[in-house]
Amino acid sequence: MLNSYPAGWLATARLFRLTLFSLLMCLLTPLAQAQNWDSLPESTRNVLSSAKAKWNGLSEQQQQQLVRGAERWQQLSGEERSQARERFQRWQQLDGKERQALRDRMQTLNNMSNKERQQTREAWQRYQKLSPEKRQNLRERYQSMPKGQRDQLRDKMKGRRDK
């Protein structure tokens, strides 16, 4: 069957398929390009105004992350923006160790299954409903426990969640 085609046809067909595939991949892969500050929509520039002076010094990835963040920011309600500002101000007041502890907690949450995350969320909501006095009492009791006892309690609570 292959003998009925002209010589070199198979190699040409393979080269054509490879070229076509490469062209399609180039078209389908989003291009990461640095964005000119002036080409950003005015609303995005307004949100990112504090980054204007250093914009050209940012990597393409950093620029894209900031643009995505600005787009998300514009979709928030006024109340959500206010809450985000408050959280950011609290974050800025944390020292390096506190920030790392929060990053570690977030990583732990991200590593949980959906079921574990839901159980943790529900436990947190129950805790939040306690009076301030009861919450303070629980914190003090927990902090006064020896480390081994805290670990046992944590394992026991985890076992209850898994059931």
Along the 163 residues of the chain, how does pLDDT read in single tens digits? 445 555 555 566 666 666 666 666 655 544 445 688 988 999 999 999 999 999 989 988 899 999 999 999 999 899 999 999 999 899 899 999 999 999 998 898 889 899 988 988 898 899 899 999 999 998 899 889 898 888 888 777 776 655 5
The domain limits of the chain are: 98-129, 131-163
Structure-token pair, residue 139? 């914190």
Report CA-CA distances (Å) from 85 to 15, 56, 65, 71, 72. Answer: 56, 26, 18, 16, 14
What is the C-alpha to C-alpha distance for residues 107 and 103, in angstroms, rounded to an integer?
6
- Residue carrying structure tokens 């977030």: 106
What is the C-alpha to C-alpha distance for residues 154 and 3, in angstroms, rounded to an integer?
73
Cβ atoms of 63 and 34 closer than 8 Å: yes
Structure-token pair, residue 129? 């409903």
